[in-house]
Amino acid sequence: MPVRKIKPGRFNTTSSFRNSKTDMEVQAESTLEADFLFSVDQDPTVEWYDAQPVKITYRLLGEERERTYTPDVLVRYKAESGKKPTLYEVKFRSDLKKSWSELKPKFKAAIAACKTEGWKFKIVTEKEIRTTALKNIEFLFHFSRTSSPVEAPMRSAIFKALSSVDFSTPEELLSTLFNTQIKRAEALPVLWRMIYDGSIEVNMALRLHMTSEIRLRRI
């Protein structure tokens, strides 16, 4: 559970959505943090995550009073991923530059705390978050909660066709399988869902389009 409740303010945009890993509500205090949480939620290597997860105490040199710092997100990854649990701070690059002298002691305290726990500490900005992969995930997500009456036979046909080739493209595959525009239009959302659920592989670092190279997931 979060150790600090996120409150609306003049200079932040709060939002909340359902954490699919825990089936609980998670809050974000900026649009950038919301984008990061969405990408974490959609990451198949993530086992669990939470926002505002831990409170870290530290002291500035020469000060008696204790200060606290609450990083943004703690992510635990599945064992097979080989990744350590990671404590993330989400910041716009401009905010990092403007407030670096104030933030640096907090980050040093977080690094020390993470070493004790066997975690990693990582700062992520819009450069790491708002990527082509995120845009692809957002696009595919629109198809994830719908289905077609002909879903099963179309999935079977797509799977069979891709299993006989090294790779294809959405345009080439659907043109080969279906001889009418209506059938191709019905099958396209099924194909996007197969990419979304990982049945079909695509390079998510490149913009997804009808001529993207696709292949069956390698086991």
Question: Average pLDDT for residues 111-120, to the nearest whole number?
Answer: 97
Q: Looking at the predicted structure, is the pLDDT value of residue 197 above 50?
A: yes
Select 15-129's CATH number: 2.70.98.10, 3.40.190.10, 3.40.50.410, 3.40.1350.10.
Answer: 3.40.1350.10
What's the confidence (pLDDT) of residue 216? 96
Inter-CA distances, 214 with 71, 135, 178, 219, Å = 38, 17, 17, 15
> If you search the block for the tokens 């020390």, which residue do you land on?
112
Report pTM: 0.85
What's the confidence (pLDDT) of residue 11? 44
Q: Looking at the predicted structure, is the pLDDT value of residue 78 above 80?
A: yes
- Which one, of 89, 71, 91, 83, lies nearest residue 43 by Cα? 83
Q: Looking at the predicted structure, is the pLDDT value of residue 7 above 60?
A: no
Residue range(s) in the chain whose domain bears CATH number 3.40.1350.10: 15-129
What's the confidence (pLDDT) of residue 3? 52
**Which amino acid belongs to residue 71?**
P
Question: Average pLDDT for residues 35-45, to the nearest whole number?
Answer: 95
HSE of 129 in the Cβ direction (CA atoms, 13 Å)?
Answer: 23
Question: Average pLDDT for residues 190-212, to the nearest whole number?
Answer: 96
What's the confidence (pLDDT) of residue 208? 98
Q: How confident is the model at residue 9 (pLDDT cuts 50, 70, 90)?
A: very low
Token couple for 72: 């943004």
End-to-end CA distance of the chain: 35
Select 132-216's CATH number: 3.30.70, 1.10.10, 3.10.450, 3.40.50.
Answer: 1.10.10
Q: Looking at the predicted structure, is the pLDDT value of residue 148 above 80?
A: no
- Which one, of 132, 197, 206, lies nearest residue 189 by Cα? 197
If you average pLDDT over every residue of the chain, what do you get?
Answer: 92
Q: How confident is the model at residue 17 (pLDDT cuts 50, 70, 90)?
A: confident
Residue range(s) in the chain whose domain bears CATH number 1.10.10: 132-216
Across 145-156, b (16+ Cβ under 10 Å) vs e yields eeeeeebeebbe
Q: How confident is the model at residue 10 (pLDDT cuts 50, 70, 90)?
A: very low
